[in-house]
Structure 1
């Protein structure tokens, strides 16, 4: 994933409430990629909004840079306090899915950075490594700018960025899919699951397909990933048999990937996200924890801040 040039952050100013609203998609995207939780990202953005209204804005030379720095530091603090909670999580932990507009996939860097595969790789970084990687590789800030945001020297920021980049490079998995083909494959998957056709399900899956479920101990979910075409197909068919009555599925995009929103009795029950490559399903992420479903209800704008000002605002 290539960051953009260091000189792209040039020259436009903000005023107060209206300008914060204009910044909100960017601020949310930064917080979400650092935290992997839409709810926590919203809390950080709201707290930053309150902090913004508590400062003398006339003395802030670069308001957008100030807000980016504030959100980054608040997200970092929050991540450090929640890491232990994730270590004690019941079953696999998945990032909170965010419903995205189809045009997010047109920005390849943004699409990859919010994918489930990338967010799970970011979970293996330290908080500082994660923040530095996101700010440098996704949002394209210079090492000097990143250093100011995370409270490090520029030399230290460079070292952290190098370490994080090498770590991510060795673990990242990239998936490229044609949106129309993906929708057709998901439709065939839904039809085969509904009829319990294991053979048809297997024909849609790669040999090493992985199905990961996140119930968080709140609802029933597999405590370990299910791996392999036949095992996953039988697992999916079994789930469909037990929950088909009254279930309704809506095709959408979550985290810039094809997804199904599955509702039972007019209540969102789970979000199923698909990784598709070479017209085969490579991975599925089923988020069932009800605490993680709120951000999938309506599309949420994401933004990398192309054309925003330098992140050299007042500390």
Structure 2
């Protein structure tokens, strides 16, 4: 039972919550409640029962999380989902996992988000949705209509094929690593935006950076700060359905390195370059960068450096098939 339904339930919970760890907890709690109920009475439709448990738990959790989001420092981004999906199996579900899509869902109330996802992403009919959220089918239709009004029109850009995304990603990474302004400009869209989530845990840009020139200069300013003492693994796996890279701390910064950065002394930890802070263990993920590529250009770059959102990412494995830079 667990193996049969856990993937579906996790997908629902992650789309609802935007958190890998919270989604996993939600699914486990739902199964525990299911098994406890099964001991008292046979459940005729376990899939529907489990989906109902997960969805309602997510709705409750989102309601309690709304106040926390209001006091969140800087821009809130979902936790990155590191996928082992074969690129040949890319589907519409991968698009719904993009951080841009999940951010749009933040505009919806918890019940609107549940109805919208169950209908638009998971293709449940209104009768099924009604049973899951405890509303009438007609009410669910109205909720979906209201949710669509709250969301902007989807972009008209065409998502680049996976091979094209990888090519753009490689060009971007090489240009960024080499501090090549011209190379960056070639792969960035005029409408490029960079979102960074530090959650107040590390130094990070608090607001989105817009525009080709500003973004290119911002990336070049970050480059020497990011890669000092950092190994970057370019993995064949996807991050939220899109190419990305994971930065790992190569080694702890010693006194000599601190001196070279002008950061000696007891207060130095407060001034460490943006993404080194609070990533003291060798091989630990210190940032994730995700590129949204459309029309063979990068439209959006999402950078997650909040260490609390990186805890679920496996430590660096130099024996994997990724490229270590």
TM-score (norm. length: structure 2): 0.81
How do 1:6-45 and structure 2 match up within 5 A? 19-45=1-27
Counterpart position of 1:7:
none
Maintained 8 Å contact 1:254/1:296: no
How much does 1:246 deviate?
2.6
Name the structure 1 match of 2:200: 217
- CA root-mean-square deviation: 1.8
Partner residue, 2:247: 262
Aligned 8 A contact 2:292 2:298 in 1: yes
Counterpart CA distance in 2 for 1:171 and 1:39 is 28
**Does 2:273 match 1:281?**
no
CA distance in 2: counterparts of 1:240 and 1:295, whole angstroms: 25
Aligned equivalents of 2:90, 2:26: Cα separation in 1: 25
Change (3 A) 1:180 1:274: same
Query: How many residues align structurally?
Result: 280
User: Could you tell me how far 1:174 is from its partner in structure 2?
Assistant: 5.8
- For structure 2, the residue ranges without an aligned partner over 5 or more in a row are 251-282, 316-325
Contact 2:285–2:313 (CA under 8 A) maintained in structure 1: no
C-alpha contact 2:104 2:151 (8 A) present in aligned 1: yes
State whether structure 2 residue 42 is matched by structure 1 residue 59: yes
1:170-229 Cα offsets, whole Å, 9 max, x none, are 356765122222222212212211121122111111111000000000011101111111
The 5 Å alignment of 1:114-193 reads: 114-168=97-151, 170=153, 176-193=159-176
CA distance in 1, matches of 2:240, 2:119: 20
Tell me by how many angstroms 1:79 deviates. 0.8
Offset of 1:162 from its aligned partner?
1.6
Q: Alpha carbons of 1:105 and 1:291: their partners in 2 closer, same or farther (altered >3 Å)?
A: farther
Partner of 2:226: 243
Aligned equivalents of 2:248, 2:223: Cα separation in 1: 13
| Aligned partners of 1:248 and 1:264 also within 8 Å | yes
CA contact (8 A) 2:247 2:285 kept: yes
Larger radius of gyration: 2
Unaligned runs of 5+ in 1: 1-18, 299-315
Secondary structure of the structure 2 residue equivalent to 1:274: strand
Distance 1:191 1:262, change over 3 A: same
TM-score after normalising by structure 1? 0.84
